[in-house]
């Protein structure tokens, strides 16, 4: 299972790489809780298979409800664009091919992560320690 976590010893930044298999076992709110709990602790969370649009919508909604002055000001999130985005047709959705298939997603605390560059094959992010 392609999952690994680093140790946060106060000097470093922990990165959680969460496999698609691990996420498949969770309900929507469990996924969102796992992501936001990690981000609240200052971790960078990388999802092997991203989230569905409905889950993304709920992630934004829950993130907004947890923003607090001087404590947590939200998330930075980047996802590879779906290749070609050609299968967003109704038929594609009915056939179940419009899921979060193979779109790696990076999520981190807004005050610590900054996207420097993104294209279809590369997400380049700068992560500060404070």
74 binds another protein (CB under 8 A): yes
Nearer to another protein, 10 or 84 (CB): 84
Max distance between CA atoms of the chain, in angstroms, equals: 50
Residue in 13, 42, 58, 127 binding another protein, rule: CB under 8 A: 58
Pairing state between β 123-127 and 113-118: antiparallel
CA dist 10 to 44, 76, 116, Å? 14, 21, 24
Q: Which residues bind another protein (CB under 8 A)?
A: 52-54, 56-58, 60-65, 67, 69, 73-79, 81, 85, 88, 90, 93, 98, 110-111, 115, 118
């Amino acid at each position: 299972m392609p999952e690994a976590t680093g140790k946060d010893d106060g000097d470093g930044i922990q990165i959680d790489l969460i496999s698609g298999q691990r996420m498949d076992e969770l309900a929507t709110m469990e996924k969102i809780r796992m992501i936001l709990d990690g981000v609240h602790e200052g971790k960078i969370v990388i999802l092997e298979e991203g989230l569905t649009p409905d889950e993304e919508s709920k992630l934004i909604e829950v993130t907004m409800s947890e923003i607090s002055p001087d404590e947590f000001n939200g998330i930075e999130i980047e996802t590879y664009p779906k290749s070609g985005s050609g299968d967003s047709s109704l038929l594609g959705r009915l056939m179940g091919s419009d899921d979060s298939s193979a779109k790696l997603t990076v999520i981190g605390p807004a005050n610590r992560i900054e996207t420097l560059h993104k294209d279809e094959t590369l997400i380049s992010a700068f992560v500060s320690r404070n």
